[in-house]
Amino acid sequence: MPRLAHLDDLLFPVEEHPVFVRIQNAAGERWLSVPDKKAIIGVSNGRVFAIVGSSYRLVTNREALDWGVQCCRSVFPETHHDEWDVGSVDAPATGGHCCIDLIHKSNKLDFSLLSPRERPDVFGPFVRVTNSYNTLRALTFDIGFFRKVCKNGLIAPDAIVQFKFYHHKQTIRDAIGFEVADSRLAKLKAAFIEQLRLLSSVRVPRGEHAPFVRAVLSLHPPQPLERDTKEAEEWKSLREHIGDLCDRYVEELGENAYAVFNAVTEFASHPPINNRVRRERHSLQRMAGTWLHSFSERCRQPDFHLANYVAELSALGAPFGSLAQKGAQ
């Protein structure tokens, strides 16, 4: 299904309108107002995004974006508002909800680690703004990290900031406050770098990369898998796509879990159009961040065995927390 990928596509006007009920019977037709309900409607096309309660607080995407820049300045006080720019945008064709990534334009916030081949790999943070008009998403601000050379990213689990505001007048007023402890950002950055260094030390044979990536992203073949069907062709295409990703990163980074991580984050950041991929980019990038955190704990366990881990991951549908806890028992 086509998606919206340009900021201008998301800055369309929306309005609140009263809701009426039409009653038609033998006596004729009449309209009654519904005083505790209102409709969220796109002005240009008349699309009704949602019917909400009277206490619902409409936040436009423009308003959410402005607050996103404010969030960036609060989390990274050494920066200025004009140093932040929209890096990427993702939304369904309906525009009912969206994710907007704000990226710092200079290298002031960059941090580096050495790749397995002793080349500097540069990462940077971004702030993702999530908003919705269809009540399916809260107004949320997440911290993510991305590899600067290819823009592949992930959302950090238990981020230093995950400001979440439900669309309610008592929760969202004319202003939003963002309070962040400086030490939390420093600790998250240090932990992230250490996790990536650890991945570089875990050997993963070339032939195990693709099954590993599929397991992390919880991508499974259709059941039953019948030959010469559309489902079989889609699964074949998806396997080939992941195989190509894995081959490329093995060549670049070597036979290790860091190459697996980069294949995972590229897939998550640029998911192919395929019916076997049922999650949006935001969800996939959260999976990548959660897996990074979980795997960095699990692979330290004395009984860790890669093949067993991947088999468990595949069988259980990638419930990372339970796998990490199992390894710690």
Q: In the 3-class helix/strand/coil scheme, how is 21-58 assigned residue by residue?
A: EEEEECCEEEEEEEEEEEEEEECCCCCEEEEEECCECC
pLDDT on residue 314:
84
What was the pLDDT predicted at 254? 93
Task: Give the residues across from 145 on adjacent strands.
Answer: 125, 154
Q: Give the pLDDT of residue 150.
A: 87
> Please, what are the averages of pLDDT over each run of 10 residues along the chain (329 residues)?
90 96 89 94 95 95 94 88 93 95 90 69 92 93 90 77 81 79 77 92 96 94 87 95 97 95 96 93 93 93 92 70 41
Q: What is the largest CA-CA distance in the chain?
A: 83
C-alpha 111, offset from chain centre: 21
256 by DSSP, 3-state: which?
A: strand
- What's the CA gap between 208 and 206, in Å, rounded? 5
Instruction: Identify the pLDDT of residue 317.
Output: 60
pTM of the model: 0.86
> Which 3 state secondary structure label does DSSP give 326?
helix
Q: What is the pLDDT of residue 214?
A: 95
pLDDT at residue number 326: 44
CA distances (Å), 207 to each of 136, 169, 198, in order?
40, 54, 21
Instruction: Return the pLDDT at 133.
Output: 97
What pLDDT, on the 0 to 100 scale, is given for residue 290?
A: 92
pLDDT of amino acid 116 = 54
> H-type helices in 202-280, by residue range?
209-216, 230-253, 257-269
Q: What pLDDT score was predicted for residue 318?
A: 46
The helix-helix angle for 230-253 and 209-216 (nearest 10°) equals 120
- Given a contact cutoff of 8 angstroms between Cβ atoms, the answer to whether 104 and 67 are in contact is no
